[in-house]
A = this chain, B = another copy of it.
Amino acid sequence: MDPQRAAFVEGFALQLAQAGMQRMASRVFAALLVAPSDGLTAREIADALGVSAASVSTATTYLTRTGLIERTRVPGERVDRYATDGTRWVEATLVETQNLATMNEWLARGVDAAADDPGAVERLRETQDFFAYLIDELPRLVERWRHERSAVSGR
């Protein structure tokens, strides 16, 4: 991998890692972002990053599961290719509302736990309302982006 690409991969991956993604997964994802559109094989990723095949396997499994990358195998080929496109990335953002929903379930329990404390109850309910709002609006926001984008690109 050329130096410029490598610099991007490390920098972008660091950002992702700080945002909570596993480090290796971050690097693999970043590498795929600057890769040719037909993607990279596990071996190519391992070589580019200088890590083991095992690490790549773990990372690709995680990234595939969360929908950030896609695994494809051309029939009659012996290797998987991993790739990411803008759409996948966006869909993954959508999936995130599942986390918000889980949090809201916990907040409901918090309301019960703090039932004796009006101030706490109000605060928790406010937070619940905000999360509910996000769960509702975020998919809408993404949908709107898709719409605008398709209008521009004509796709």
Contacts and interface: CB of A to CB of B under 8 A. Distances in A.
Interface of A: 2, 4-5, 7-8, 11-12, 15-16, 18-21, 33-38, 84-86, 89-90, 99, 102-103, 106-107, 109-110, 112-114, 117, 119-120, 123-124, 126-127, 129-130, 133-134, 137, 141, 145, 148-149
A4 B34 contact: no
15 contacts: A5-B114, A12-B106, A20-B20, A20-B21, A33-B110, A33-B120, A34-B113, A34-B124, A36-B119, A36-B120, A84-B123, A85-B126, A86-B127, A90-B130, A141-B141
A137 B137 CA distance: 11
Contacts of A106: 8, 11-12, 15
Contacts of A137: 141
A37 B123 contact: yes
A18 B17 CA distance: 12
Given A34-B110, A84-B123, A134-B141, 5 more contacts: A7-B113, A8-B110, A11-B106, A11-B109, A38-B119
Contact of A8 (B11, B35, B86, B109): B109
A149 B132 CA distance: 13
